[in-house]
Amino acid sequence: MLRLILFIALVGSTVFCGREKDFRIRTNRIWEEEKEEKPFSGRWQDLETDPYDNVVHFDGETHLANVKQLTFEGMNAEGYFSFDNSKLTLQATGYGTDCDQIYELDLNIDPKLQTLRRISTGLGGTTCSYFYKEEDNNHRLYAGNWWNIKIDNHTDVSKTCPQKQCANPQTDELKQLCNTSYTWDIFDDYDIFKVDRYGNFVQRLTDTPGYDAEGVVSPDGTKIAFTSIRSGDLELYVMNTDGSNLIQVTNELGYDGGSFFTPDGKRLIFRASRPKTPEDIAKYKKLLSYNLVEPIAMELFIVDIDGKNMRQITHLGEANWAPYMLNDNKRIVFSSNYNAAANGFGAFSIFMINDDGTGLEQITFGKDQFNSFAMQSYDGKKLVWGSSRNGTNYALNLFIADWIDHPGTTTNTVMKDTTTTTGATPSADKTSTNKHFSTEDKTTSTATPTDPNPSSDTTTPIPTTSTGTPTSTTQKTEKWQWSRGGI
């Protein structure tokens, strides 16, 4: 009888542990297996997670390890590292305002144990934040139109978002353009501002009519690259970090934007549209007259910061955007839907390519997934990006992973079937039931998103609800509209 009792207890504990592990994988908790302990830095971003669960880490993603989710629900994007890799600045909607505001996250603390700290005012719309290069991370920049918002005692500040042209077209011509185009708004009162760690205004860096946004800081901390319409077209510019010594970099018809400095600081990697036919040129100019662009045909380009030696890198067709050059000063990660027929309508994957246009390789997988805004940490050890994985139809979240430069098993060709991988995979014999799971498996925080006082240092709780993988890609493409080049 004693042996029978011990046997039943052993079987029960095994089943419980298995279920517990499955639950922790689904909810993105850390699973620590019994193995030789490795030295731990004490930073949350360095914790290990279970690989290839097909919830936050998909089969085939061999360049990624220890994938962890940083935000939960809402629309979160454009997460960029501080120069010491300890913090992330990002833009997000869903925390008390109807359009993007700028927030900050500490990467050394579990995101479920902290709150997003809002940096922007809460007025109007914002986009494209970036840290200055400082030891104390005291300053950052972002673009917005808060300076042009008129408020009084009766104003609901959460409803002060800029009006999108196609939300309520006022002319027959605009209605026709909106009905036949997928558009991004180029808000004509966006300017770039420098603020301190508390969001206090320090300096207005641009002050010309029209759109000024998409600012980034050079690796040496001395320059800012950004997109402006001050010439009549959307071109790239470089200036000192105090706004002085302005230089126009590009001067070719089309939307030049989403730029980043290369690691050596000598060039800009960016994406651009290049209308060529008379019909495409006429449509581009007409949309631009309404402060609109149609970002369905974009390719990657590279240019010296003085405007010389510009050349095209990709020739893939469709939308290729959100490029970032890795620390080797050669390879570029970017987002593309050029093979979306295999991934599902509206799906974007992250790819990698050499700066000479060779060596195309797919980095992220997962059917009907949106992946973009990739940035490598300055020490080359991490990759942060935005993804629809482990979210709802209206959720875009940020993820961080260890970057594996030379994975033991790599896929050197671009895969067309995202449900399986070609050749050997690290988990070819591993199956997962975690793509969709019931409400009983959710972990929900009792914290509710709030809208902190813009002048205070209070913070916005991050909701911690996880649901199944998105299934409606039509809804996703309607919802995912971001600046810097962002759907």
pLDDT in tens, 246-258: 999 999 999 999 9
User: What's the average model confidence in pLDDT over 475-482?
Assistant: 42
Q: Quick check: 476 pLDDT over 70?
A: no
Place of tokens 């080359």: 380
pLDDT in tens, 401-424: 999 998 754 444 444 433 333 333
Provide CB contacts within 8 A for 208, sequence distance 6+: 228, 230
Cα–Cα distance measured from residue 395 to residue 77, given in angstroms and rounded to the nearest whole number: 10
User: What's the average model confidence in pLDDT over 463-481?
Assistant: 35
Q: Cβ(164)–Cβ(249) under 8 Å?
A: no
CATH of 69-145+188-272+295-403, one of 3.40.1710.10, 2.120.10.30, 3.30.460.80, 3.40.50.300: 2.120.10.30
Structure-derived torsion over alpha carbons of residues 67, 72, 75, 79, reported in degrees to the nearest 10: -40
Q: Cβ(367)–Cβ(418) under 8 Å?
A: yes
pLDDT in tens, 51-91: 999 999 999 999 999 999 999 988 999 999 999 999 999 99
User: DSSP string covering 46-103, please?
Assistant: G----S--SSSS-TT-TTEEEEEE---SSEEEEEEE-TTSSEEEEEEESSSSSS-EEE
The proportion of the chain whose per-residue pLDDT surpasses 90, expressed as a percent, equals 66
Specify the amino acid at residue 346: G
Domain ranges of the chain: 69-145+188-272+295-403
- Given this model, what pLDDT does residue 12 score? 52
Structure-derived torsion over alpha carbons of residues 417, 419, 425, 428, reported in degrees to the nearest 10: -140
Q: Quick check: 188 pLDDT over 80?
A: yes
Q: Quick check: 428 pLDDT over 90?
A: no
- Given this model, what pLDDT does residue 36 score? 54
Cα–Cα distance measured from residue 365 to residue 351, given in angstroms and rounded to the nearest whole number: 10
Closest by CA position to 434, among listed 11, 49, 35, 62: 49
Provide CB contacts within 8 A for 428, sequence distance 6+: 59, 421
Cα–Cα distance measured from residue 399 to residue 373, given in angstroms and rounded to the nearest whole number: 10
Cα–Cα distance measured from residue 22 to residue 469, given in angstroms and rounded to the nearest whole number: 16
More confident residue, 391 or 348: 348
Q: Cβ(332)–Cβ(383) under 8 Å?
A: no
More confident residue, 434 or 316: 316
- Given this model, what pLDDT does residue 339 score? 86
b vs e for 312-326, b when ≥16 Cβ sit within 10 Å of the residue's Cβ? Answer: ebbebebbbbbbbbb
Q: Based on the number of CB atoms within 10 Å of its own CB, is 72 exposed (0-12), middle (13-18) or buried (19 or more)? A: buried
**Do the bridges between strand 382-387 and strand 371-376 make them parallel or antiparallel, or are there none, so unpaired?**
antiparallel
Q: Quick check: 452 pLDDT over 60?
A: no
Q: Cβ(388)–Cβ(74) under 8 Å?
A: no
Q: Quick check: 440 pLDDT over 60?
A: no
pLDDT in tens, 333-390: 999 999 875 555 568 999 999 999 999 999 999 888 899 999 999 999 999 999 999 9
